Amino acid sequence: DVKVTQSSRYLVKRTGEKVFLECVQDMDHENMFWYRQDPGLGLRLIYFSYDVKMKEKGDIPEGYSVSREKKERFSLILESASTNQTSMYLCASSLQGASTDTQYFGPGTRLTVL
């Protein structure tokens, strides 16, 4: 079974802090994704990566950056956390990014910024 793990289920940070959210997949997938999920807004894509060191902006990249130094690991970085970044963050991976590919999701990290 594909496994996508996220470093924390719950995280509380203060405004202005630098925040790292880590995601690891164990199936040698090429593509990895970061989404945020807010009530009434569904899932929105922040960034995705289709190869090591490659990244593409999603629909809402402002205030975020990403890093993919190794194939299995994709990090989401909040350079200076703000209260409007309080949200559920979901990581996903897929084999190659083909139109038929399945995305496998991690359990999510609920981030609260005070």
Residue 83's φ and ψ, nearest 5 degrees, are -65, -30
Query: C-beta of 46: minimal distance to another protein in Å?
Result: 12
Closer Cβ to another protein, 82 or 96, answer by number: 96
CB closer to another protein, 81 vs 91: 91
The residues near 99 (Cβ < 8 Å, ≥ 6 apart) are: none
CA distance 112 to 114: 6
* Residues of this chain that bind another protein (CB under 8 A): 4, 31, 35, 40-45, 48, 50, 54, 56, 58-59, 90, 92, 96-108
Least Å distance, CB 15 to another protein, is: 26
Tell me whether residue 27 or residue 54 sits nearer to another protein (CB atom). Answer: 54
Minimum distance of another protein from residue 22's CB (angstroms): 15
Dihedral Cα 7, 10, 13, 15, nearest 10 deg: 110
What does the alpha-carbon distance between residue 52 and residue 93 come to, in Å, rounded to a whole number?
13
Beta carbon of residue 80, minimum distance to another protein (angstroms, whole number): 27
Q: Please list, in sequence order, all residues whose beta carbon lies within 8 angstroms of the beta carbon of residue 62, skipping any fewer than 6 positions away.
A: none
Which lies closer to another protein via its Cβ, residue 13 or residue 50? 50
